[in-house]
Amino acid sequence: MKCPFCGHIEDKVIDSRSSNEDKSVRRRRECIKCKKRFTTYEYIEEIPLMVIKKDGRRESFDRNKIISGIRKACEKRPVSIEKIEAVVDKVEKELQKTFDKEVKAQTVGELVMDHLHKLDEVAYVRFASVYRQFKDINHFMKELKDLLGKKT
């Protein structure tokens, strides 16, 4: 495993444990060279779920893209990376349970927004503004009114 800090390829495993309902293994590693620690996950390789984009292109489902989008939405919010990963785990599990081979990108985005809405409302609005490509303040205000309507 290549160290994400210094690039050295030798490390030692400090701790291993099952996670995600025994579907993955979480490992804490320490770089032999720089002594920094990092976490890796091992997953069972499954048939990749294909995501159908708006323009009809197909690409493999990539949980890192979702993590990246949620992290941007949660920037400067009190949301830990563990909670973000838990959301992505839930989304991925629901997709694998519901779809065999292909899923529309819109379905993935809506599922992420459902979980973000429960996690952090500000992050939800941030994610929605990018995902739904708000063109002006009216679209933004409509989403806020819908959000406030759901609270009452």
Residue 151: the pLDDT is 62
Residue 13: the pLDDT is 96
Q: Which residue has the higher pLDDT, 95 or 140?
A: 95
Structure tokens at 122: 């500000």
Nearest to 124 by CA among 77, 85, 86: 77
Contacts of 19 (CB under 8 A, 6+ apart): 25, 26, 41
According to DSSP, the residues that pair with 28 across neighbouring strands are: 15, 39
pLDDT digits (tens, 9 = 90+) for 37-67: 999 999 877 678 899 998 999 999 999 999 9
What is the number of residues in the chain? Answer: 152
Cα-trace Rg, the chain: 18
β-pair type (24-31, 11-19): antiparallel
- Distance in angstroms (rounded) separating the CA atoms of residues 75 and 62: 21
Q: Where are the domains of the chain?
A: 1-45, 46-151
Structure tokens at 48: 């990749």
**Mean of the pLDDT values across residues 102-122?**
91
Q: Look up the pTM and report it.
A: 0.62
Let me know: does 123 contact 70? Beta carbons within 8 Å: yes
Task: Give SS3 for 89.
Answer: helix
